[in-house]
Amino acid sequence: MKYVVLMASLPPLGSLFEATAPPISRLKLESRLGLLEAADLQTLEQIAHLIAWPTRPLERTDAAFIEEAHRFLASNRSPTLRRLVTQRLELRTIVAAFRRRRRGESQPPTGEVWGFGAWVGLIERNWSAPTFQLEVIFPWVRQAHDLLEKDDLVGFETLQFSVVWAMLNRLEFGHTFDFEALIIYLARWSLVSRWSCYNGDIAVTRFRELVDAGLGNHKEILSSASQ
């Protein structure tokens, strides 16, 4: 019942790229989350922390972070939330591979845990292939490669917005008034919020900085894990 009340109180977000501002402010959104129980808030914070990879303490290694991700996936009972976390971290890994290669790494990283998910081995075996042989699995990877070849960093960032939005659309199926629906809404709200204040020049600068940071990526939030 609490999720029905909560979701009914949240305005539709509309389409991503047409938004000039989120239809609900962060302050009001956080106020709505006061309806959640402590266990729900803890799960929300866990997911936000995993998605917002760069917020991890600097002294923690990628290996420790990935181990934490696996613990969450093993303990959480929701297939939808496990898919959400898995898909987002796999996306981060693919983007990280592009960035590493762009900064001149002619071979995949050795002796370190640098990526997450089922496709790390395939990426490493096909490091020199334009799309890491991933285009059949992820058709958007071809477009990502082509955008980077043209040095269209704004287009590359925009593509990532589109890919994540499409992921969330697929995950939404079957969820309307439950906890999964809330998490998906918050993830979408984060994208709308970021897009509404998106600045192409800043995005280009950020990309060039992140090329030097391996898997580290732009910060994305879920409500209380604010940027």
Query: 0.75 exceeded by the pTM?
Result: yes
Does residue 206 lie in a domain region? yes
Does residue 150 lie in a domain region? yes
Does residue 226 lie in a domain region? no
What's the confidence (pLDDT) of residue 159? 95
Q: Which of 8, 12, 17 is nearest to 166 (CA)?
A: 17
What's the confidence (pLDDT) of residue 18? 84
Does residue 147 lie in a domain region? yes
3-state secondary structure of 129: coil
Can you tell me the distance from the alpha carbon of 191 to that of 17, in angstroms, rounded to the nearest whole number? Answer: 10
Number of domains in the chain: 1
Does residue 199 lie in a domain region? yes
Determine the residue type at 217: N
Alpha helices in 55-136 (DSSP H): 62-75, 79-102, 120-125
What's the confidence (pLDDT) of residue 93? 93
Rounded average pLDDT per 10-residue block, the chain, 227 residues? 89 88 91 90 91 56 86 96 96 93 92 91 97 97 96 92 95 94 94 78 57 42 33
Can you tell me the distance from the alpha carbon of 59 to that of 211, in angstroms, rounded to the nearest whole number? Answer: 20
Does residue 96 lie in a domain region? yes
What's the confidence (pLDDT) of residue 19? 78
What's the confidence (pLDDT) of residue 143? 98
Question: Which residues constitute the domain of residue 89?
Answer: 2-12+26-213
In contact, 206 and 194? CB cutoff 8 Å: no
Q: List, in order, residues 6 or more apart from 138 with CB less than 8 Å away.
A: 94
